[in-house]
Structures are given as C-alpha cells and as structure tokens.
Amino acid sequence: MALLEVTALTKRFSQLRALDGVDLTVRAGTFHGLIGPNGSGKSTLLKAIAGAHAPTSGTIRFDGVDITAAPPFERARAGLSLKFQITSVLPELSIYDNVLLALQSREGLSSLISSRTRRILDGGVMTALDRFRLAGRADDLAGELSHGQQQWLEIALALASRPKLLLLDEPTGGMSPEERRVTGELLRPIRSECTLVIVEHDIDFIKNLCDCLTVLDQGRVLDEGSVEQIEHSTKVQEVYTSRV
Amino acid sequence: MPAPQSVACNGSSPKRSGQRRPRRMLPLIEVAVLAVMVAAPIVLNNRPELITLITNIVILSLLAISFDLCWGFSGIMTFGQALFFGVPGYVIALVGRDLGLSDIWLTIPLAMLAGLLLAFVVALFLLVGRRPTPIFIALGTLTGSYAAERLVSGWQYVGAGNGLSAVKLLQMGSYEFVEGPEFYSLACVILLAVYLGARALVGSQLGLVLAGMRQNEERLAFLGYRVQIFKVLVFSLAGMISGVAGALYSYHQGFIGPGNMGPGLSTQAVIYCLLGGSGTLIGPVIGTAVIEILTYVLADIESIRQFWPVFLGLVLLGIILFQPSGILGMVVSTRERIGSYGLRRKGTERQG
C-alpha cells in the first residue's frame, strides 16, 4: 500500500526548474532511497514533501490525504517528520530539552501551561537519548555536541513524535566512516516503526539500508527499482560515470 | 576504531565528572530586588517625591516585563508595546470620567481585557501569516503605536494633545488609593503577582516551546507546533500586562496623554529590558530602576535634560553593540538565563 504518492511534482526557483514532473511512490514499511548527482533535486523533493517548499505544480498525497497545500505543522501532525540536511537542533537548549520539545509537540495548550506531561514524558526522552547514545550527555547543551552527534540528535527529534514517514536528508553528511557505520546500525531497527525516505550521497550506505531506490537527475526521475536493478541500470551508470 | 564521541556518550560524560554546577544567580537577584522593594518605602517615608519615583518604577517595570515576554522569551520584536499601555490607560480614565467608575475590581480587569484584546487584534494582523519577518513585526508594532498616538492627539473627546487629566482616584470599596506608600504597595503586589505568573509560564512546558521558538521557529513547525498560536498567546498576554501597567499609571499620575502610547515610551520599554538583561524577567525591573533613577537625578540639570533622548539612544546602541545580554548578563550565565526544563536525576548534574 502506498503511504506517499507524489505526482507530476514541479518546483521552479525563478528560471530554474529544480523539480520537473517528479512521480514518486513510497510503500508503507519500506526504506526508500533517493540518489542522484549534486543539484538533481533530491533535497528539494524532500523539502517539498515536508512542506518547506511550496510546489509550483503537482500533488502530494500522504496516507490517502492530499497534503500539497498543507503547512509544515499539519504535515508533521499527520505523521511526516523531516531531518534537515543542515543540522537544526536548538543549540542553546539542553539535549534533554530538545527531545522533550519534540515529544511534547502533540500536547494541548492547557497541558503545556500546567506542565502536566513533563514527568510522563521523561521516560520517552531518556529512551530516545539511550537509543542514539546520547543519554550520558542529556544535560549538555545541544550546541556542544560534535557534528555527528548533532545529526543523531536530529534523527532522535524527528523520530520522537513516532512518525509514519521519516524523511532524512543526508543523515551522514560530514560524518567520519565510523560514525556512518554507527548511523546505519542506529537506523536499521526503525524499520519496524516507520517508513523511511532517505537522501544520501554515500551509495554504499544507502545500498545497505534501502529496499528500493529512485534516481533523480536534473529534477527528473531517471530510474527507479530495487537496489540490484539500479546497480545494473545503464541509464544510471551513464549519469554517474559522466558527471560524478 | 570506534568513534571517540560514540564511546564518550555511552555513559556519563567524563568531562562532567567533578564539574561544579555554577551558582544560580537569578534567585539571589530576585530576593535582593524584593528586599529593596520592601525596604524602599520605609527608608524613603519622609520623601514623598521619592515614593512617587519608586511607584513609577514599579509600574513601568510591568511594561518592561511585558516586552521581555515578547522579545526576551519568545523572539517577537515589538516596538509598540506602549500602545497596550496607553489605550487601557485611556479606557479607565474615560470610564472614570463618563461613568464615574473606578473600583479596582472592575477597572483593573477592564484594563487587562482592553490590553489583551487590542494586542490580540494586532497579533492577528502582524503575527499570523505564512512567515511574517521580524522586521515586519517590529515596523508594524511601531507604526501601530505611532498611528494611535497621532489619532489620539487630534481627538477632542479624549482630550486631544492635552490628554485626560484629573483621572478619578482608584477605589477599593470606599477606600481611595492616593499617591503614596499605599499606592506603592498596591503596585508592588500587582508586580509580584505578574512576576510570579510570568515566571511560572516561562518555566512551564510552554516556556520550553517559547525558548525553542526564539531559537528556530521553522524547526518547531516541522516538529508539529503551530507557532503562530504561541506567538499570538504570548503577545496577547504581554498586552494584558501592559494594560494593567497603563491603568496603574493613569491612576497614579492622574493623567494619561498621547505620549503614553507612542514610540517614545515603546522605545523606553525596549531600553529598560535590554539594559537590565532580556530573557530574565528581573532584568527589566532593574533596567527600569536604573533608567528612571538616572532620569530623576539628572532631570534638574538643564543641559543634560535637553539631550536626554539622545543619551537614551546611545545607551540602546551601546547595549546592542557591547553588552547585548544587559547588566544581568555580567553575572547570569546564558545557560541559567535560558534554563532547563527536564527533571533532575541522580548522578546527572543539571544547570539553569
């Protein structure tokens, strides 16, 4: 069953067509990779799905509902969660408070004012931090973390609200090989919890993680299929050998 | 080879072991300010003009706190906070003049409601929308404040440029609050109530949302927060606090004029807050005291009084350039100012 259906999505920035009639279907329970050369439109597509960019034309349906015009907070509440390419943790808040903020995002105003759920959410915060190996630094400021740890915190924030679909934009960007390996280990178990769409430049990383891949080039879908199919795709090989 | 960071963050962070939690300064400063507030009328009992001065400081502190809630805690830059001070001030003056009403249980809630509703309407115009920029909000509030001042200046019903004088005295039953220690005590009780309410608000889970909103509004939207609602809420509450201040000012001075809702007083609220230290609540009280005492002391010197607005402008510029965290920034750490919202746990040091 399709959890996400993107149809004929186009996004123009002035004269530049960042996305040009992109179709994408993501089935529930899968890990779906988006790859392509620099400037192929991967991040733009992810941002359009999450609501950071309003598409010029086309439709986005999530869980059977048209969300093309929905603002980001509505998409998030519907179960879409985005990890930005550039880490956007809240640096002046503690690591604990970053996760608490993500976890309490579904609470009502009266609950927030009376701090009714602060104790209740404590276990959830620590579980999320444990999972991403940050529990020992719960009281440190998020801005004090290394780049790799900030990426993990960012994934923890995106996962905290128990999304149906997690969108990860280059989760291993700027990480050491060892941190990339650990990130893969951290991401694999979330298969049982949500569907994943991931943009990544590290082909080996994405091959080991994803069930199917969509290859973008110049804002269009170049090819789509299982990892094996894409590995043997002559169209993809041409693009990668000629431009990468 | 395992990543050093991964190893380090599996258990308690080694760099934290043996690290002493810095002393929390804000509670000490709050107690000190409270002590000064209590002692002041006793010490100054023989100087009515100084009782008037400290009453003014308490009233204007409310205005400064309302600005701090907007800017210091929520990142909403308002250059028109006096609008929500002056209009309720006029409302209670008119209610006293035309209806003969000045009972505290009626007029103070009325002023709160006037400030709240006016701020709510302004917030709907300025804060609700796809992505209103900070400069749009700052200029919008400034324009609102200026336009209201001009409007009132030419409106005879509300006294035009002369404002409304001989405002009816504030009453509690048959008791009338005249200028002096009693009025000061009343203003202090209201300031204390507002302060405790504001402290509870910014320390709650809602306060965490505000702290996040101030740092990265877009991130909060992607976490599922409808940021505009929180902005409208805080802005309206700040308007309500300004409304109380405006009413108290009107009763205390016996006068309210166009200048009490204009850009001049709005900018003063910004200076009070930034000088004392924004995002601390107590900083604006200290900033108000410093500016108002300086104004009082220097008011008799003609050559200085002439250039006083220029001096205040330079103070604002100096703070922004050299000490953006204000006076309290010298003794209160950023960590303490922002605070922590999680629970303290065994073996984990918490700060702020």
B261-276, pLDDT tens digit by residue?
999 999 999 999 999 9
Which residues of A fall within a CB distance of 8 Å from B225? 73, 105
Q: Is A42 exposed, middle or buried (0-12, 13-18, 19+ CB in 10 A)?
A: buried
B5-23 pLDDT, tens digit per residue, is 333 334 344 344 345 566 7
DSSP string spanning B269-308? Answer: HHHHHHHH-TTSSHHHHHHHHHHHHHHHHHTT-HHHHHTH
Say whether B222 and A102 touch across the interface (CB within 8 A): no
Global confidence as pTM = 0.89
From the list A89, A114, A139, which residue is nearest B351 (CB)?
A: A139
Compute CA distances A135 → A101, A127, B6, whole Å.
16, 8, 11
Q: Would you state the pLDDT for residue B348? A: 46
Which residues of B fall within a CB distance of 8 Å from A89? 219
* Residue of B160 and A174 predicted with greater confidence: B160
Say whether B348 and A102 touch across the interface (CB within 8 A): no
Torsional class of A7: left (φ above 0), alpha (ψ -120 to 50), beta (otherwise): beta
From the list B2, B201, B341, which residue is nearest A178 (CB)?
A: B2
Instruction: Assign B320 to helix, strand or coil.
Output: helix
Say whether B222 and A82 touch across the interface (CB within 8 A): yes
Instruction: Assign B135 to helix, strand or coil.
Output: helix
Whether B4 has a pLDDT exceeding 70, the answer reads: no
Say whether B223 and A76 touch across the interface (CB within 8 A): yes
- Is B85 within 8 Å of B260 (Cβ atoms)? yes
Q: What is the percent of chain B where pLDDT is above 90?
A: 75
Q: Tell me the average pLDDT across B206-228.
A: 93
ipTM above 0.85, yes or no: yes
End-to-end CA distance of chain A: 34
Say whether B223 and A157 touch across the interface (CB within 8 A): yes
Three-class SS of A119-157: HHHHHHHHHHHHHCCCHHHCCCEHHHCCHHHHHHHHHHH
From the list B201, B219, B343, which residue is nearest A122 (CB)?
A: B343
Which residues of B fall within a CB distance of 8 Å from A76? 221-224
Beta bridge partners of residue B103, listed in sequence order: B171
Which residues of A fall within a CB distance of 8 Å from B13? 136-137, 140
In whole numbers, what is the pLDDT of chain B averaged over residues? 89
B93-132 pLDDT, tens digit per residue, is 999 999 999 999 999 999 999 999 999 999 999 998 767 8
Q: Would you state the pLDDT for residue B214? A: 93
Q: Would you state the pLDDT for residue B350? A: 39
A175-233 pLDDT, tens digit per residue, is 888 889 999 999 999 988 899 999 988 888 898 899 999 999 999 999 999 988 998 88
Q: Would you state the pLDDT for residue A14? A: 86
- Is B57 within 8 Å of B41 (Cβ atoms)? no
Which residues of B fall within a CB distance of 8 Å from A112? 204-206, 209
- Is A22 within 8 Å of A58 (Cβ atoms)? yes
Which residues of B fall within a CB distance of 8 Å from A136? 8-13
Integer Cα distance of A52 and A46 in angstroms: 9
A20, A60, A13, A14: which is closest to A40 by C-alpha? A20
Compute CA distances A83 → A87, A145, A160, A175, A177, whole Å.
8, 17, 12, 15, 20
Q: Tell me the average pLDDT across B246-259.
A: 97
A60-106 pLDDT, tens digit per residue, is 999 999 999 999 999 999 999 998 888 889 999 999 999 999 999 98
Q: Would you state the pLDDT for residue A191? A: 87
Integer Cα distance of B5 and A133 in angstroms: 9
Integer Cα distance of B176 and B64 in angstroms: 27
| Domains by residue range for chain A, with CATH | 2-89+145-243 (3.40.50.300)
Q: What share of chain A is helix, strand, coil (3-state, %, to 5)?
A: 45, 25, 30
Contacting residues for B3 by C-beta, under 8 A, at least 6 apart: A148, A176, A178, A179, A182
- Is A95 within 8 Å of A153 (Cβ atoms)? yes
Which residues of A fall within a CB distance of 8 Å from B220? 101, 105
Integer Cα distance of A184 and A193 in angstroms: 16
Q: Which of B17-21, B25-29, B132-136 has the lowest mean pLDDT?
A: B17-21
Residue B137 token pair: 């909000």
From the list A72, A81, A179, which residue is nearest B3 (CB)?
A: A179
Beta bridge partners of residue A62, listed in sequence order: A4, A65
Which residues of A fall within a CB distance of 8 Å from B16? 137, 139-140
Say whether A113 and B205 touch across the interface (CB within 8 A): yes
Tokens 């893969």 — which residue?
A184
Whether B303 has a pLDDT exceeding 80, the answer reads: no
From the list B3, B216, B334, which residue is nearest A88 (CB)?
A: B216
- CA A6 from chain centre, in angstroms, equals 16
A118-167 pLDDT, tens digit per residue, is 889 999 999 999 999 999 999 999 999 999 999 999 999 999 889 999 99
Residue A77 token pair: 């509440």
Q: Tell me the average pLDDT across B283-304.
A: 89
Q: Tell me the average pLDDT across B323-342.
A: 88
* Residue of B299 and B196 predicted with greater confidence: B196
Q: Would you state the pLDDT for residue B343? A: 52
A244: pLDDT confidence band, cut at 50, 70 and 90? very low
CA of A109 vs chain B CAs: smallest distance (Å): 8
Say whether B233 and A109 touch across the interface (CB within 8 A): yes
End-to-end CA distance of chain B: 36
Q: Would you state the pLDDT for residue A131? A: 92
B352: pLDDT confidence band, cut at 50, 70 and 90? very low
Nearest CA in chain B to A82: B222
DSSP classification of residue B204 = S
Say whether B211 and A125 touch across the interface (CB within 8 A): no
Q: Would you state the pLDDT for residue A243? A: 58
Q: Would you state the pLDDT for residue A51? A: 92
CA of B347 vs chain A CAs: smallest distance (Å): 10
Compute CA distances A202 → A41, A206, A207, A210, B247, whole Å.
16, 6, 9, 12, 64
- Is A87 within 8 Å of A152 (Cβ atoms)? no
Sign of CA dihedral A3, A5, A11, A16: positive
Q: Tell me the average pLDDT across A101-122.
A: 91
